[in-house]
Structures are given as structure tokens and as C-alpha cells.
Amino acid sequence: MAMKTFEKATLRLKFSQGLNEKGQVIEKTKTYQNISEQASLDNLAIVGTALASLFEYPFIGTSIATQEAIQN
């Protein structure tokens, strides 16, 4: 049976840098690597909001990307 193993996680903060000529939002992303597998979603949301307050751009949202290995 195949199993998955946590490898790494990255926290991503998205910001708006205005609109392009077509009226679409131009997004800027800041990433923070080495996020613990045990980090709770509530804590990640709090940290994301706190970090976002340090930037001048309007905050869009926080996401997390995880990478896992599949082993047989």
C-alpha cells in the first residue's frame, strides 16, 4: 500500500498591486518556507495577517502549499 510522507510546507501571502490595462488585479506573492507540519491553521492565519500588516500593499489572503512524497 502506498504511503505519503510530509516533505515541506510554504506559507504564501498575496497582495494587490493595482490593476492592469484590462482591469485585472496584479498580484504580488511573498513566500515563507520551512513551515512546520504541526502548525495549526489558526496560527498560520494569525501569522499571515500579522506579516501582511508590515507591507504597504493591500492584503488579498494567505495560503499554504505542502509537498509530500509518495512511497510504495
* Number of independent structural domains in the chain: 1
| pLDDT single digits (tens) 6-48 | 999 999 999 999 999 999 999 999 999 999 999 999 999 999 9
Instruction: Give the domain range for residue 57.
Output: 3-71
| pLDDT single digits (tens) 46-67 | 999 999 999 999 999 999 999 9
**35 CB-contact burial (10 Å; exposed 0-12 / middle 13-18 / buried 19+):** middle
- Which residues touch 67 (CB under 8 Å, ≥6 apart)? 7, 8, 9
Give the model's pLDDT for residue 11.
97
Evaluate whether 17 touches 68 at the Cβ level (below 8 Å). no
